[in-house]
Amino acid sequence: MKNYKNITDEEFDKKQKEFVWSFLRENSVINFDDNIISASKAFVVNSVFRWSITEIQNQKMSKTQWTKTKRLVGQYIAGVVDLQWNDGKLISTEVVSDKRNRR
């Protein structure tokens, strides 16, 4: 995500939305089946990215942290980890599949 300096809050908000929508579409987070829309992970992905982008804009998140956050979101989409917010902090928890428990 680029660091947008000297743009209005409205323009910044628009850039955030464009980035998130693009990511959601590219990673099939939103699915369409006739007139039914499925987006079970879209809310969390949206909140994580919007928070991250704001942190980047305020110079509170490094490029390394941004890369790790994107990787974490990818793992969330793939079902490897679960993400949730707790007191304003992003918490990731490894998802244990039934196959691992059967060994």
Confirm whether pTM is higher than 0.85.
no
Q: How confident is the model at residue 10 (pLDDT cuts 50, 70, 90)?
A: confident
Q: How confident is the model at residue 84 (pLDDT cuts 50, 70, 90)?
A: very high
- 12-44 confidence digits (pLDDT tens): 888 888 988 898 888 888 888 888 988 889 999
81: helix, strand or coil:
strand
Instruction: Work out the number of other CB atoms within 10 angstroms of the CB of residue 2.
Output: 9
How do the domains of the chain map onto residue ranges?
9-101
Residue with tokens 């998130």: 20
Which amino acid appears at position 20 of this protein? V
- 38-62 confidence digits (pLDDT tens): 888 999 999 999 999 889 888 999 9
- 97 and 88 Cβ atoms separated by less than 8 Å: no
- Distance, in Å, from the CA atom of 99 to the CA atom of 103, rounded to the nearest integer, reads 7
